[in-house]
Amino acid sequence: MDDPVTMLLGKQETDRHRVKGVYLDHHATTPLDPEVLDAMMPYLKEFYGNASSRSHAWGLRSTKAIEKAREQVARLIGAEEKEIIFTSGATESNNLCLKGHADRDQNACFVTSCIEHPSIIQTCRYLEAKRHSVTYLPVDSYGRLDINDVTNALSDSTSLVSIMLANHEVGTLNPIAAIGLLCSQKNVLFHTDATQGSSLLPINVDEWRVDFLSLSAHKMYGPKGVGALYIRKHHPQISLTPLLHGGGQERSLRAGTLNVAGIVGFGAAAAIALRMRDEELKRLRVLRDRFWNKIKEQIDGIVLLGHPLERLPDHLSISFPGIDAEELMLEMEDLGLSSGSACSTGNGSPSYILKNMGVKHEFIHGSIRIGLGRFTTDEEIDYAICKISETVRKLDKERGI
Ligand SMILES: *Cc1c(COP(=O)(O)O)cnc(C)c1O
């Protein structure tokens, strides 16, 4: 009965709407934590006031809820409330940071990596069309940046560096604290897209010396359509032009009536993440390692993509050479997985991330991503291992191997 789907749809409706199977695509999106939904519900029902309406109780109720959520999100990353700007998600946060900075400085030059999320890469392409210079740093075969390459790329004209914390496709972690230190020594602003890993890794904006940081609620068991940009306070070089002009919401950096229920859910998700992260990090790492060790025994020639150690604790990217990952996934409809080969990248072409890591075509073609999550159980993992191994063997047999 506490199950959120049951609550929303009523008992008889539930079975028809529930998807059966094992969801292992937590880096595409995470389910809503039931505790998050509980926190949001009152703001979808009785507390509908506009958070900007300071003249009555309805509005003030929402204002207070937003302030609590701001504190919860700030605490997760070691920031202060006034340093958090709520947005519609990490895509918007990334756009706001880069375009907002470029708009204030016609000569702004950027440094980023070649395996960032499209919301960074495509924004950088747009900025290049606007005559800004962008350097796309290479990564090694694990998808990791070399700090020396960052050092060499910084010139007197560089004004902002944007490097992701963890890659969504291969799970590799970047040396964010080292890059932050370097940027602060060179007096260059530093942005990190911390969308992946935000519910498990101990993020601290001061220890890492980041000036901007992007988050998304739906990658950390919160609702879709909500995110945040952390902006360091009292920094003489920081000045952003908003993407959206209008009312004075979010210190005039992001106009528009606040999504109260969504932001409340984001705050709750951040509080739960902070409470659970050390324990969950250990649990998921053990579960993930068990997955890899078992499946590796079952399937010959299987390879791990991304860094073996410096990776998200709940993430695996693996490849079955000779296998077509799209075909494999079609044979396993009850497993929610994604692939770096053509179809699941969304644009019909193989992953630019794996290509830029120098992964061979055959390995890209046979790659799948396995993303464990907060509600993933041992039984689900055992089932997935059996299903994948059986299906790979079946496809091998059909090819006459
Ligand atoms: C999902 C994701 C985004 C985009 O987040 P949205 O909130 O869906 O816009 C940006 N960066 C990374 C690394 C992501 O994984």
Q: Are residues 368 and 246 in the same domain?
A: no
**Distance, CA of 35 to CA of 269 (rounded, Å):** 8
> What's the rounded mean pLDDT across residues 288-299?
96
pLDDT, residue 340, reads: 83
pLDDT one-digit tens code per residue, 33-71: 999 999 999 999 999 999 999 999 999 999 999 999 999
3-state class of 250 per DSSP? Answer: helix
Confidence check: pLDDT of 346 > 90: no
Contact 91 CB / ligand 1 (< 6 Å): yes
Cα 44 to Cα 37, 261, 262, 267, 327, distances in angstroms: 10, 6, 9, 15, 41
Q: Do 202 and 220 reside in the same domain of the chain?
A: yes
pLDDT confidence of residue 114: 98
Of 246, 270, 294, which one is at a domain's C-terminal end? 270
Nearest CA to ligand 1 atom 10: 90
Domain that holds residue 22: 4-32+277-395
Average pLDDT, integer, range 334-348: 79
Question: The domain that contains 376 carries what CATH number?
Answer: 3.90.1150.10
The CATH number linked to 222 is: 3.40.640.10
Distance 58 CA to ligand 1 centre (A): 32
CA 359 centroid distance within chain: 22
109, 183, 343, 386: the active-site residue: 343
Q: Are residues 160 and 58 in the same domain?
A: yes
Atom from ligand 1 closest to the CA of residue 168 = 15
Percent of the chain predicted with pLDDT > 90: 91
Could you tell me if the CB of 195 is within 6 A of ligand 1?
yes
**CA 182/CA 188 separation, integer angstroms:** 9
> Cβ(123) to ligand 1 under 6 A?
no
The beta strands (E) that lie in 244-397 are given as 303-305, 315-319, 335-336, 338-339, 367-371
pLDDT, tens digit (0-9, with 9 covering 90-100), for 163-196:
999 999 999 999 999 999 999 999 999 999 999 9
Same-domain check for residues 159 and 77: yes
Mark whether 244 and 300 lie in a shared domain: no
User: Alpha-carbon distance 370 to 378, whole Å?
Assistant: 14
Same-domain check for residues 21 and 41: no
Does 290 lie in the same domain as 264?
no
Helix H, strand E, coil C: the string for 43-100 is HHCCCCCCCCCCCCHHHHHHHHHHHHHHHHHHHHHCCCHHHEEEECCHHHHHHHHHHH
Query: Is 386 one of the catalytic residues?
Result: no
Atom of ligand 1 nearest to the CA of 216: 7
Which domain-ending residue is among 234, 252, 270? 270
Residue 117 CA, ligand 1 centroid: distance in Å? 7
Identify how many contiguous H helices and E strands the chain contains and give both numbers: 13, 13
Interatomic CA distance for residues 36 and 269, integer angstroms: 6
Sequence-separated (6 or more) residues with CB below 8 Å from residue 106: 131
- Which candidate, 145, 221, 154, places its Cα nearest to that of 183? 154
CA–centroid distance, 119 to ligand 1, in Å, is: 7
Q: Which of 270, 305, 326 is the last residue of a domain?
A: 270
Per-residue DSSP letter, 18: P
Same domain, 192 and 147: yes
**147 shares a domain with 211:** yes
Token pair in block for residue 224: 């879709």
pLDDT digits (tens, 9 = 90+) for 192-217: 999 999 999 999 999 999 999 999 99
> Do 142 and 43 fall within a single domain?
yes
The span from the CA of 94 to the CA of 100, in Å, is 9
Residue 159 resides in a domain: yes
* Number of domains the chain is built from: 2
Does residue 400 sit within a domain?
no
In a domain, 330, yes or no: yes
Angle at which helix 260-298 crosses helix 378-398, to 10 degrees, equals 50
142 in Cβ contact with 307 (< 8 Å): yes
Same domain, 216 and 241: yes
Task: Return the ligand 1 atom nearest residue 225 CA.
Answer: 7
Q: For residue 401, tell me if it sits in a domain.
A: no
